[in-house]
Amino acid sequence: MADMVQTVPFVGGADSTLALLHDGYRFMASRRREAGGRSFRCRLMGREVLCIVGREAAELFYGSGRFTRRGAMPPTTLRLLQDKGSVQLLDGLAHAHRKALFRRLTEEDALERFGQCFERAWSEEEPHWRQAGAAPLLGRMQRILCQAGADWAGVPLAGA
């Protein structure tokens, strides 16, 4: 394996950290063009890394439990964007189970059902806005989305 990695072109000079920060999402594409292939090696923060793209690369990361997500996200970012126990931090069967639940929830028929629930909740709220002559959008949308989500999931809202 080490010999195979050595045949992958090295690009970017002494260190590519600043280029990554500057180029953002374009970093991989421009370095791949420079390397003339689907993979390249470079140095980021002083460490040599292998950059790969494509289906096989995704399977390397998402299949067979070669990597763990535990500790991958800084705690401050975790608390800001998600929370402990979120799917991005789960591994193995727990990750696969949670991901399968999410995928079922986002299938076309499930999204269609949610759209119908949203339209129904909107239609129920709209007469109140017209009668009041005004509608603070944020508060109204929170109510509509909450009601639509509860209806979609089959969870009755007490006192709604």
pLDDT tens per residue, range 23-78: 998 999 999 999 998 899 999 999 999 999 888 888 877 766 777 777 777 878 87
Query: Percentage of the chain surpassing pLDDT 70?
Result: 93
Q: For the chain, what are the domain ranges? A: 2-96, 108-153
Task: Work out the average pLDDT over 128-138.
Answer: 83
Answer whether 0.85 is exceeded by the pTM: no
d(CA 151, CA 160): 11
Distance CA 94, CA 128 (A): 44
Q: Check: CB of residue 36 under 8 Å from CB of residue 8.
A: no
Q: Smallest Cα–Cα separation from 29: which of 48, 13, 14, 11?
A: 11
pLDDT of 100 strictly over 70: yes
